[in-house]
Homo-oligomer: A and B are copies of this chain.
Amino acid sequence: VRAARRERIRDAINELGYVPHGAARALASRKSRMIGALFPTLDNVLFGSFLGPLQQHLGAQGYTLVIASSEYDHEVEYSQFINLVTNGVDGIVLVGMEHNERYYEILNRKQIPYVHTWTWKEESKSPLVGFCNKSASKLAAKYLLDIGHTRFAMISGILEGNDRAKERLKGVKEILAEHNIVLQDHAVIQRPFELSQGASAFRDIMTGKNPPTAVICGSDLFACGAIFEANRMGIRIPEDVSITGFDDTELASSISPTLTTIRTPRVEMAELTAHYLLNRLNNAKASQKKLDVELIVRESTAPPSNRAI
């Protein structure tokens, strides 16, 4: 069949509006050309900025991304996971490492490649494409120590079931300990990832006795909520209190004062996640990747003032 005729046939197919039947194709070929992504929530620009590029890279190779969110609920996550497997995804993207053991049994039995993102551990046996949350949060704490802070508080995500949040807290504690500073339990406030939670946590922290001169936040959302609340309370940032965030979302560079934060490589992570899975699917060698994070110093941090506020 020559090119000309081939083209006419393709045109005819388009004219008639023929759309292939994915289920039949999947059944016959044992490949669905779908990749599943199981995320904690969609209600956060963080994940959006990862999923867009991920979809793009996967789409370039003919794969469709199927997104599911667990709403930070284990039950929901489990049923969404089963949904993805039932729908026959060829590969799966998971966030963090704390997941039901059964997932891996199923994945292994069905030979479905998977990858953990948003996290990193040296000794991990399961495939990772992510960054080290612990050393990332150390970067922020270290910077604050270097410019002279000694009294700290941290606004953290809910630790339960969230290894990223746990690692971030651990990093802060470790580096403070190296400087003989103990981050006490009452100085660590756990909250769901929301602006308003950052605001109320900040108020709690600053109205307690012996308030800190620096507040380390486990998310830009917390940090920005804190900045808004500081403004309402008449607390000047950074003159009275320094604040750091985590992620470097658009809000961090837009807010006034702009936010000192940790840039997490979401776009690059999406690309490498796609490549990892695509390689596995093509039986090529696929290697996990540790990505670098970066401290972005902006206006929300400064040396502590001498006067206690």
Given A27-B23, A55-B69, are A44 and B45 also a contact pair (CB < 8 Å)? yes
Count how many chain A residues have C-beta atoms less than 8 Å from C-beta atoms of the other chain.
Answer: 62
The reply to whether A196 and B253 contact each other, CB–CB distance below 8 Å, is: yes
List the B residue with the shortest CB-CB distance to A85: B19
Q: Which A13-31 residues have C-beta < 8 A from chain B? A: 17, 19-24, 26-27
Asked if A255 is at the interface of the complex by the 8 Å CB criterion, the answer is yes
List the B side residues contacting A84 at CB < 8 Å.
Answer: 64
The reply to whether A47 and B56 contact each other, CB–CB distance below 8 Å, is: no
Residues on A lying within 8 angstroms of B by beta carbon are 17, 19-24, 26-27, 32, 34, 41-45, 47-49, 51-52, 55-56, 59, 64-69, 71, 76, 79-80, 82-88, 102, 105-106, 109-110, 194-196, 199, 224-225, 228-229, 231-232, 250-251, 253-256
List the B side residues contacting A32 at CB < 8 Å.
Answer: 23, 87
List the B side residues contacting A21 at CB < 8 Å.
Answer: 27, 86, 88
Given A23-B27, A196-B250, A196-B254, are A106 and B17 also a contact pair (CB < 8 Å)? yes
The reply to whether B86 and A20 contact each other, CB–CB distance below 8 Å, is: yes
The reply to whether A34 and B71 contact each other, CB–CB distance below 8 Å, is: no
Which of B43, B59, B64, B195 interacts with A254 by CB under 8 Å?
B195
Report the bound CA distance from A102 to B250 in whole Å.
Answer: 36
Q: Which 7 pairs across A and B sit closest by C-beta, in order of nearness? A: A23-B26, A42-B48, A43-B48, A195-B254, A231-B256, A67-B67, A23-B27
Q: How many copies does the complex hold?
A: 2
List the B residue with the shortest CB-CB distance to A87: B22
A interface secondary structure, majority: helix
What are 9 A-B residue pairs whose CB atoms fall within 8 Å in the complex? A41-B48, A55-B69, A64-B83, A67-B67, A195-B250, A196-B253, A199-B254, A228-B256, A231-B256
List the B residue with the shortest CB-CB distance to A23: B26
List the B side residues contacting A83 at CB < 8 Å.
Answer: 59, 64
Given A48-B48, A194-B250, are A82 and B19 also a contact pair (CB < 8 Å)? yes
The reply to whether A102 and B17 contact each other, CB–CB distance below 8 Å, is: yes
List the B residue with the shortest CB-CB distance to A221: B250
Given A106-B17, A250-B195, A254-B199, are A52 and B64 also a contact pair (CB < 8 Å)? no
